[in-house]
Structure 1
Amino acid sequence: MKHLTIWYVRGTWSISESLCVLLCIHGGQSELRALSVQCGPAALRKSRRNRKQAGRGGGEGGRGLRLCPETQSLYKQRYQPHPHTHLRRPGHHECQSRSQIGRPRTERGCLFFLCLGIVYMFRPNMSFVAPFQEKIVIGAFFLGAILCLSFSWLFHTVYCHSEGVSRVFSKLDYSGIAFLIMGSFVPWLYYSFYCSPQPCFIYLIVVCILGVAAITVSQCDFFATPQYRGVRAGVFVGLGLSGVVPTLHFMIAEGFLKATTIGQMGWLFLMAVLYITGACLYAARIPERFFPGKCDIWFHSHQLFHILVVAGAFVHFHGVSNLQEFRYTAGGGCAEEGGS
């Protein structure tokens, strides 16, 4: 009989739990006999029923990897404790991952809003011909946004394939967040300190150093564990809040009124509120924490986090576009500042 297994995270389950996982999935008859002592007759009967369903083409997508309730409970504790239904099962089979793309899943809403953001970022937005250096500045933001959204939808698409694939793409997902934050800083610092290139250059170096540090930390395996969920949110919120220093610098140098009108500080503040709110919802698992089973497909914390990130990117781009238009039409506005 063909032998099928699933992957599990080493070191998080006890030996008896791991044996039950292998037993509850349809597998070879020899494995069932060898492990039946560990899990008892009840789990053995469930496994035999699952194997019969698999032999008839049962299971999700006709290729089915059937998990008994005990295994589903362990999987939810490890990855998504609050959603009760519509979770994708882990498995090594590429065909299984493909068969679940069209089904209503917890990840479907995340993929929809991520792809919506990518499509918007690829559309032409310039109503005038900008100098080459300004195209690079705006391009840095687009590159960061596209990398962030692309890495995220790739992770949500393939993470159920295997442990190794999930680990690699989760690191890309976290790195993409840092790329988005760094890319968002570039055009705002460039146009805010348009007439003062030295502080602009210094702040860009500091942001890049902090961003590289965040990417480096995200490559550690422990960073993706549930125990560090709050730490993950804190790292990226802290990276974004590093912009408080140049913001205060700009407001002191230009004045509060000019900073909020010409400097587009209102849009920047709204962007920060959207990003921080999304990170807090993600870390606290709101609203599924208070409505278990009601937000399994739509409006769970991870999906709301993606919606707010995409909305924050739109808001940031709108504010930067207004700031760029002012600098471009006013010839930079440096002559007036120099004469005052």
Structure 2
Amino acid sequence: MPMHCIKHREESSLDTSLIKQEKGKETKNMHAKRRRINVTYYPEWFPINDHLAIYQRHPVNCVRACVRSAFERNSELLCVWSHAVALVMTIRGFLLFSSKAEEDFLHPAEEKLVFQLAFLSGSLCFGFSCIFHIFYCHSQTYFEGALKLDLLGIVIGTQGTWYPWIYYTFYCERITKFILLFLTVTCGAVSSWLLTRPYLLRECMVRQRAGLSAAIFTLIIPIYCLMFYRDGIVGSMVEGRQIWGLISLSFGTVGVIVFCMKIPECWCSGQYDHIISSHSIFHSCAAICLWLGIYLSMLLQEKRYETGDNCPK
């Protein structure tokens, strides 16, 4: 073969290799630029997840586009729909429980009221969460307003689902029951006021908000201490069926830890491109936590109905 043909082939092969290298560099630069946009070119108020490579939601200034993005594959897809499904289930539970016959209760008016408050609180929690995750990307005004609703929903959902639990746990101790219910309402009001302060609405304060939200659960400590003192640990957990309360609390704790530590996307930061993220896991854990709390209250209501209205003197 002539030397000029061999030389031409070598040059052609070299050109092809260089083209491939250039394309590879362009692809890497494109992904790097895409990740940099997440940090550099987003508005300061916009909540972003630095670990996500793609599917990061973008700011839009149209309400219709906000709603449409809830059906697209992005970082908020599971956050919206996990609580949308939970909202439908909670409303369904509210309607079913409200339609129960009065013969199934010892004190129908009181017992239905505390359960209706629990279901209503859960519905507001999930509903406000859906509103936030659909519309926060519209503008800073929408973001701050929707975030206030979301934070209020967390407090309402947490505190509201405790009403039937406290009511049946301390059914025969009227003074203790009313004191704990009063403390629950007071704690909820103070927490709502603190969480909606303007300085806490900034994106950089997300861990502080999560810590303050988790602090709401500290009211459980004196409640469990009273139960353990009265019935013993084994009696409370087994006969009192309070083990479901600890399981519920465990799901809530795991959800908060996963959310604050950005698990699992932090394990492959900058390359994680799945819709299952720490926030969606937190949403699922929160929904399970709330529903297990309501389930515990239902078990306590059945037990009280079987025991009757007989309280030890």
Equivalent-residue separation in structure 2 for 1:224 and 1:97 (angstroms) = 20
- Asked if residue 195 in structure 1 is aligned to residue 172 in structure 2, the reply is yes
Shift in alpha-carbon separation, 1:102–1:230, aligned structure 2, 3 A: closer
More helix by share: 2
Residue 333 of structure 1 deviates from its aligned partner by 4.3
Q: Greater shift after overlay, 311-320 or 131-140? A: 311-320
Please tell me the residue identity of whatever aligns with 1:101: A
Q: How does 1:138-149 map to 2 (within 5 A)?
A: 138-149=115-126
2:85 paired with 1:108: no
Q: Shift of residue 247 of structure 1?
A: 1.2
Among 277, 280, 283, the alignment partner of 1:303 is 280
The correspondence for 2:86, drawn from 91, 107, 117, is 117
1:74-100 Cα distance to aligned partner (Å, 9 max, x none): 229862222221122213222432442
2: distance between equivalents of 1:68 and 1:294?
11
- Structure number with greater CO (CA < 8 Å, separation at least 6) is 2
> Unaligned stretches of 5+ in structure 2?
1-32
**Alpha-carbon distance in 1 for matches of 2:171, 2:182:** 16
User: RMSD in angstroms over aligned alpha carbons?
Assistant: 2.1
Deviation at 1:309, TM superposition (A): 0.6
- How far the C-alpha of 1:156 sits from its partner, in A, is 0.5
Alignment correspondent of 1:272:
249
Deviation (angstroms), 1:294: 5.5
Deviation at 1:264, TM superposition (A): 1.7
Contact persistence 1:110–1:303 (CA under 8 A): yes
- The aligned runs of 1:230-309 (5 Å cut-off) are 230-293=207-270, 295-309=272-286
Distance in 2 (alpha carbons) for counterparts of 1:182 and 1:100 = 31
**Residue 101 of structure 1, CA deviation:** 3.1
- 1:173-224 per-residue CA deviation (whole Å, 9 max, x = no partner) reads 0110000111122111100000001011111111211111111112112213
Equivalent residue number for residue 47 of structure 2: 79
* Paired residues of 1:76 and 1:82 also in contact (CA < 8 A): no
**Residue identity in the other structure for 1:307:** S
1:108–1:297 Cα contact (<8 Å) kept: no
My pick for the range that moved more, 240-249 or 257-266, is: 257-266
Give the deviation of 1:276 after TM superposition.
1.1
Structure 1 residues 91 and 143, CA gap change in structure 2 (3 angstroms):
same
Distance 1:226 1:98 in 2: 22
Deviation at 1:158, TM superposition (A): 0.7
Q: Aligned partners of 1:175 and 1:107: how far apart in 2?
A: 20
* Larger radius of gyration between Structure 1 and Structure 2: 2
Kindly provide the CA deviation profile for residues 102-134 of structure 1, in whole angstroms up to 9, marking residues without a partner as x.
321111111121011111112244465330110
Contact 1:251 1:259 in 2 (8 A): yes
Verify the 8 A CA contact 2:162 2:293 in the aligned structure 1: no
2:154 is the alignment partner of 1:186? no
Which of 140, 143, 150 is the equivalent residue of 1:166?
Answer: 143
1:88 aligns with 2:57: yes
**Per-residue deviation, residues 202-259 of structure 1 (Å, max 9, x unmatched):** 1111121111111111211221323322221211211112111011102211222331
- Residue 172 of structure 2 aligns with an amino acid whose one-letter code is C
2:38 and 2:228 mapped to 1: Cα distance? 53
Any conservation in 2 of the 1:147–1:180 contact (CA below 8 Å)?
A: yes
Partner of 1:314: 291
Cα distance in structure 2, aligned partners of 1:287 and 1:241:
27
The share of aligned pairs that are identical, in percent, is: 24
